[in-house]
Amino acid sequence: MSEPATRAPQALNFHKMNGLGNEIVVVDLRSSTTQITPADVRAVAASPRSHFDQMMVLCPPRTAGTVAFVTIFNTDGSESAACGNGTRCIAWLESQKTGRPNLRFETMAGLLDVAVESIDRITVDMGEPRFAWNEIPLSEPFHDTRGIELQIGPIDAPILHSPSVVNVGNPHAIFWVDDVDAHDLARFGPLLENHPIFPERANISLAQVRSRSDIKLRVWERGTGLTQACGTAACAAAVTAMRKKLVDRTVAVHLPGGVLSVTWTEGNRILMTGPVEWEYEDRWTRSPAATGT
């Protein structure tokens, strides 16, 4: 974690939301000195009532003009630098609370500007994609990250091969296939996520280009597993497809949970637009036996 962890409170209030089925728990600690430990994260994720793909923890702002510094956790207690679906969720909550349509958050990936039009249309400026091998990062140099040497299966007849790689706040590898449903991503995902070529692990996607404006996507998310939707993966698939000249500068990315619109601007910014859903507010009670590890 970015700062030393302290013992969490016995009770933790949270909002349960989702972005296209990507399960999000939001915890607001801006008025608290408490920090959440990895053990807390795993315990909250294990509870059926509060299960999540990502936990978005709002901490006091570190930079002037920002709403909060956001720490993002995966279900296994590891941290992520970015979460597009989760960012839309926290922006909608903050907009409902303050009435402000334009908001700025800070994460480990940098500053994120969000425009809230409605619960069904929220746009996040996800920043600039990073394509250099050492920015992703990879464990060895590759001159052209539009397709690196990595495959699953026999060398003369690989099942998956030559993924595009990019960092959009976290590392992504996108395998281009004719049919995303024809491959056992639950089987290959863990192997690829933890492949030695990815020193910080990676999100693994299967992408099927269906037209110049349409991509179908399935995602194995780092630290979480198969997910209904992943905003950063949608952005990663879109910009790498654009870089390979397979699609136009704005595409609809179809995930199991729904559709996101992704635009890669001439100014090198990635704009992701989609809905969120608020489910309920609840409280998680911390076990007295829980530890901070």
User: Who contacts 98 (Cβ-Cβ below 8 Å, separation ≥6)?
Assistant: none
* 3-class SS of residue 51: coil
Q: Catalytic site residue 230? A: yes
Of the candidates 59, 89, 230, 235, the residue annotated as catalytic is 230
| Number of neighbours of residue 10 by Cβ within 10 angstroms | 12
Mind giving me the DSSP string for 214-251? EEEEEEEETTTEEES--HHHHHHHHHHHHHTTSS-SEE
Do residues 204 and 171 touch, judged by C-beta distance below 8 A?
no
CA 267 vs CA 172, 198, 261, 263: distances in Å: 22, 28, 17, 11
Q: Cα 293 to the chain's mean position, in Å?
A: 23
Residues marked as catalytic: 83, 230
